[in-house]
């Protein structure tokens, strides 16, 4: 076979040596088009990449800090501060605005609530739990808890019975809302629907009235089982009310702060012994609360006869 001398230098050997005079072999067209080659991609500026990464990391750090600290509507971190006076009293200010003062003589701390009331921390339980059957409401007590009794002891007995309260106003100057005389220092402590009203100041107070009312909440709690001496309970009907107190005068009066109420008296012109809100005067309407007489009224007059 004749050798083909047109295939390249040196007779088209498969691995020819370099010949600078030999023209390069022409290439066939590129399969992906015959246009010009795409210019190389421009490399990103390393300084801009570093700056963008720093911004992302800073943003993530700020978000994580906010989540870990629970957020702060005021734009500042919530802190607790404590200062000790020369006399040994330490005052602590909590993030919510409450302050507490603790003395070196081991007395309980006094907590000032944001609204201005003061309490002495968790209430210490006193004595054994009182059976619900013995917590009978009357015009001057709840079972063994008499009006005029030491306020701290009454609260302690109720803590022993029901646990810590679900609400506590601390001591504040009353305006008559809970039956107190305007200007009295009072404290209202709540266990579900049961509100206990004390009159006085921290360390020197007395139990003066109660209000059991489903509108305060806690409809399924233990205080809902408390009844009057005669057996009336909240959520009983007007018909049952009138039957229970058939030997008394039962009236229906609209009170400005409460609405329509029932009132139980010995006679029409005598003092109220028990009262409370009611849905209507219909026989099947429900009693939604039972209140003792207003404390301001009972201090201005002779203590009324206890409802049997």
Looking at the domain assignment, is residue 237 inside a domain?
yes
The pLDDT, as a whole number, for residue 289 is 97
The pLDDT, as a whole number, for residue 78 is 44
List, in sequence order, every beta strand (DSSP E) within the chain: 81-84, 90-93, 99-102, 110-112, 118-119, 141-142, 145-146, 167-168, 172-173, 185-191, 194-201, 204-213, 249-255, 259-265, 272-277, 289-291
The pLDDT, as a whole number, for residue 118 is 56
Looking at the domain assignment, is residue 272 inside a domain?
yes
The pLDDT, as a whole number, for residue 121 is 73
Domain count, the chain: 1
Distance CA 118, CA 239 (A): 43
Looking at the domain assignment, is residue 231 inside a domain?
yes
The pLDDT, as a whole number, for residue 19 is 52
Looking at the domain assignment, is residue 151 inside a domain?
yes
Global pTM value: 0.63
Looking at the domain assignment, is residue 54 inside a domain?
no
The pLDDT, as a whole number, for residue 74 is 45
Give residue 242's domain range: 108-300
Looking at the domain assignment, is residue 14 inside a domain?
no
Q: Enter the tokens of residue 221.
A: 């709690």
Q: What is the mean pLDDT of each run of 10 residues along the chain (308 residues)?
A: 48 50 52 52 62 70 59 44 49 46 41 52 94 96 98 98 96 96 97 97 97 92 95 98 98 96 96 97 98 87 54
Looking at the domain assignment, is residue 99 inside a domain?
no
The pLDDT, as a whole number, for residue 96 is 47
Looking at the domain assignment, is residue 26 inside a domain?
no
The pLDDT, as a whole number, for residue 25 is 52
């Amino acid at each position: 076979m004749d050798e083909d001398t047109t295939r390249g230098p040196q007779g088209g050997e498969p691995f020819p040596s370099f010949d600078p005079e030999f023209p390069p072999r022409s290439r066939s067209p590129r399969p992906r088009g015959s246009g010009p080659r795409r210019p190389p991609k421009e490399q990103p500026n390393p300084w801009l990449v570093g700056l963008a990464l720093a911004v992302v990391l800073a943003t993530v750090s700020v978000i994580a800090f906010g989540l870990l600290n629970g957020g702060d509507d005021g734009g500042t971190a919530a802190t607790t501060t404590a200062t000790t006076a020369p006399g040994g009293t330490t005052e602590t200010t909590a993030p919510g605005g409450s302050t507490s003062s603790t003395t070196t003589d081991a007395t309980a701390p006094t907590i000032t609530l944001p609204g201005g009331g003061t309490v002495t921390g968790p209430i210490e339980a006193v004595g054994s739990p009182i059976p619900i059957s013995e917590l009978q409401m009357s015009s001057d007590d709840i079972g063994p808890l008499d009006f005029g009794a030491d306020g701290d002891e009454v609260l302690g007995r109720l803590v022993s019975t029901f646990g810590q309260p679900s609400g506590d106003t601390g001591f504040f100057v009353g305006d008559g809302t809970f039956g107190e005389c305007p200007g009295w220092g009072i404290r209202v402590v709540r266990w579900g629907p049961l509100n206990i009203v004390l009159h006085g100041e921290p360390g020197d107070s007395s139990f003066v009235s109660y209000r059991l009312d489903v509108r305060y909440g806690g409809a399924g709690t233990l205080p809902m089982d408390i009844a009057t001496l005669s057996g009336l309970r909240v959520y009983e009907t007007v018909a049952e009310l009138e039957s229970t107190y058939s030997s008394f005068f039962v009236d229906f009066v609209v009170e400005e702060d409460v609405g329509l109420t029932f009132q139980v008296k010995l006679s029409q012109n005598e003092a109220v012994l028990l009262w409370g809100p009611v849905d209507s005067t219909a026989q099947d309407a429900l009693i939604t609360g039972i209140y003792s007489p207003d404390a301001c009224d009972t201090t201005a007059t002779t203590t009324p006869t206890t409802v049997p």
